[in-house]
Amino acid sequence: METDLRLESSLWIGNKRYRAVLTGWHLKWTEADKKNGDKKTVSVPVAEVVGVENGRVEILPQKSVEDTDKDFTGGRSRSTYGLLWSLGRTQFSCPSRVLRDQWTNHLRTALKTHSPLRPHRLLVFINPFGGKKKGREIYHSLVAPLFELAGISSHVIVTERANQARDHLLKKDLTGFDGVVCVGGDGMFSEVLHGLIGRTQQEAGLCETDPAVTLQPCPLHIGIIPAGSTDCVCYATVGVIDPVSSALHIIIGDSQPLDVCSVHHASTLVRYSVSLVGYGFYGDVLAESEKHRWMGPLRYDYSGTVVYLSNRSYAGIVQYLPADPLLSSPKDKTRCLSGCNVCSRSTERLFPHTSDSGSLYSSHFSQYSNDSEGEWVSVEGRFRCVSITCMSSSCARSPLGLSPSAHLADGTGDLILVWDTHPLSFLKFLYRHTSTQDQFDLPFVEVHRVKAVRFSLPDGREEEVHEGIGELNRAIGGEEREYVDTVSRNGSQQQLAQSVVERETMNEHKTVAPILCGLCCKKTPAVSVWNCDGEILPFTEIFCRIHGQLVRLYARGIEDAAAMQNCSQESDKNKSRCITYK
């Protein structure tokens, strides 16, 4: 195969002549008219080539092509500053049109052969109201021209309502798509996540509501173009919030598996989460922030301050099923980086009969069914917050995240328990998220690596939840009965989508009851709410289970930024390995 692809000839870049070779996995070109010692070689891995097109192509701010006979343009993804990627573009001139066509054909074949996960057709959802409301602009000016250069055809849907993307993925024909891209924030990602997981289970005939069921991993990849408020999933899987870097990861078909947490109440599937399932502080911040959406991303800073000042803690019983402590620990001070060993070993455990990711989906074994279940641990008391995260949940506010040593794809989550403490101590805990100081090295904080978690209220508290909701319902003229109806309606998988819609409508005014009572009625609420990746859950008592590598993103995890930095310093010194080009 490699010999078929090999091509070698003279090419010009500007007015300099080069000897160019396409060999197996690399495209290399070396200055031809210099003495051997002075010759510089540029070597581009085929996997990093974005696309090739005949003519002289300009890409940004808009794609334009000057249709010439003997030229072709190649684009590659390259790292500019550490994790930030940009498009490198080179215009080559050939001695003849025939040779030019040979080069473009060979390069296109090499791309197909060496990067099988590159998408050809994508379904793109844009939330025009996410973050600073720039989703449309970001997509059309920064991403679409790159997709075009890469030969990707995209079907773009600008959403007109919440949950449109999820419903589309649950019901419409998805034949021919290689992946789904969301342009927006964590909420938009969550819609796509729910749509794809739901669709995959429907097609596999699996019942999502049963927490013991081993779910089928989704065959379509998810790409995220960040245009939201927190953009935690993008930050934690790419390392930067940059639409161009994310688009380039999508184009070259990077693939990052991701653990997903399913959240259940009684026999209901409530939601899925990849970043934060948080009770107490994070739930209260979200409930408060919903009233200030007009502030955009700043709503979280404002609400964080309001909630911090209200100085609340909540009673609860937390039970958890620890993960195998021999595999890793949330306090081991390691980071889950690109090619992470802990995650790779987990892939072998989860998919024992496959050697390549292409055939991964046929033999999924969950950690549940593979491992012995182990012993549940139970703790009870008052908590400032209880958080469960499947990954580090790093974001611009907290560059190392809620749990800096959590893994993206190890089949476990980290449970963080912050016991009630003095307000200044809690502030210290929060503040440590913004630096490299260890937020777990505090006497009132515990962190456990877990496979499942159950949260319940001490006896009698569930009644207080209903009282709180009833109180607010009376104030807004609603019926408490609807809450109970929703619980009992959610029995079957077919009703899931509808029940989620109903619950969310209900969320808007009923489940924030305890919070509103706390802030408006000056009464400290007995219960908080759960923040599940930016959505308020309609239940307080929940059961969470981590599903290893249930979805795949077009990303590659965090590359070691220090190594990348060294590389760009070397390029300054013109070391051949790292030579960058225009």
Ligand X SMILES: Nc1ncnc2c1ncn2[C@@H]1O[C@H](COP(=O)(O)OP(=O)(O)O)[C@@H](O)[C@H]1O
Among 163, 319, 357, 580, contact with ligand X (rule: CB under 6 A): 163
Give the separation between CA 494 and CA 271, rounded to whole angstroms: 15
Q: Mask of contacts with ligand X, 122-141, x by CB under 6 A?
A: -----xxxxx----------
Residue at token pair 């699996």: 206
**Which partner from the list Ca ion, ligand LXC25N3T, ligand X, none does 390 bind, CB cut-off 5 to 8 Å by kind?**
Ca ion
**Which partner from the list Ca ion, ligand X, ligand LXC25N3T, none does 286 bind, CB cut-off 5 to 8 Å by kind?**
ligand LXC25N3T
Q: Contact, 350 vs 364, CB < 8 A?
A: yes
Q: Mask of contacts with ligand X, 24-63, x by CB under 6 A?
A: ----------------------------------------
Among 49, 276, 390, 415, contact with Ca ion (rule: CB under 5 A): 390
162 binds ligand X (CB under 6 A): yes
Neighbours of 429 (CB within 10 A): 20
Nearest to 241 by CA among 259, 227, 222: 227
Among 53, 259, 284, 533, contact with Ca ion (rule: CB under 5 A): 259
Per CB under 6 A, residues contacting ligand LXC25N3T are 185-187, 228-232, 275-276, 282, 285-286, 300, 304, 393, 395, 397-398, 402, 430-431, 433-434, 531, 533-534
Give the separation between CA 209 and CA 488, rounded to whole angstroms: 13
Give the separation between CA 317 and CA 443, rounded to whole angstroms: 19
Among 93, 104, 201, 229, contact with ligand X (rule: CB under 6 A): 229
**Residue 180 exposed, middle or buried by CB count within 10 Å (0-12, 13-18, 19+):** buried
**Could you say which residues in the range 392-421 bind Ca ion, by CB under 5 A?**
407, 410
Give the separation between CA 386 and CA 418, rounded to whole angstroms: 6
Give the separation between CA 448 and CA 440, rounded to whole angstroms: 10
Give, as one character, the DSSP assignment of residue 458. P
The dihedral over CA atoms of 142, 186, 551, 256, expressed in degrees to the nearest 10, equals 50
Q: What are the tokens at 182?
A: 């969301």
Among 228, 411, 514, 538, contact with ligand X (rule: CB under 6 A): 228
Q: Contact, 393 vs 330, CB < 8 A?
A: no
How far separated are the first and last CA of the chain, in Å rounded?
Answer: 30
Q: Which is nearer to ligand X, 468 or 538 (CB)?
A: 538
Give the separation between CA 243 and CA 227, rounded to whole angstroms: 8
Q: Is 82 left (phi over 0), alpha (psi -120 to 50) or beta?
A: left
Among 45, 151, 187, 470, contact with ligand X (rule: CB under 6 A): 187
Q: Which of 167, 186, 242, 254 does the annotation list as catalytic?
A: 186
Among 35, 161, 353, 582, contact with ligand X (rule: CB under 6 A): 161
Q: Contact, 190 vs 130, CB < 8 A?
A: no
**Which partner from the list ligand LXC25N3T, ligand X, Ca ion, none does 159 bind, CB cut-off 5 to 8 Å by kind?**
ligand X
Give the separation between CA 363 and CA 209, rounded to whole angstroms: 21
To the query of whether residue 186 is one of the catalytic residues in this protein, the response is yes
Give the separation between CA 54 and CA 148, rounded to whole angstroms: 13
CB of 181 to ligand X, least distance (A): 13
Q: Which is nearer to ligand LXC25N3T, 106 or 428 (CB)?
A: 428
Q: Which is nearer to ligand LXC25N3T, 28 or 292 (CB)?
A: 292
Q: Which is nearer to ligand X, 97 or 132 (CB)?
A: 132
- For residue 393, give Cα distances in angstroms to 185, 300, 453, 533: 13, 16, 18, 10
Give the separation between CA 337 and CA 356, rounded to whole angstroms: 20
**Which partner from the list ligand LXC25N3T, ligand X, Ca ion, none does 430 bind, CB cut-off 5 to 8 Å by kind?**
ligand LXC25N3T
Closest residue to ligand X: CB criterion: 185
223 binds ligand X (CB under 6 A): no
CB of 546 to ligand LXC25N3T, least distance (A): 16
CB of 241 to ligand X, least distance (A): 11
Among 185, 223, 226, 316, contact with ligand X (rule: CB under 6 A): 185
CB of 306 to ligand LXC25N3T, least distance (A): 11
List active site positions. Answer: 186
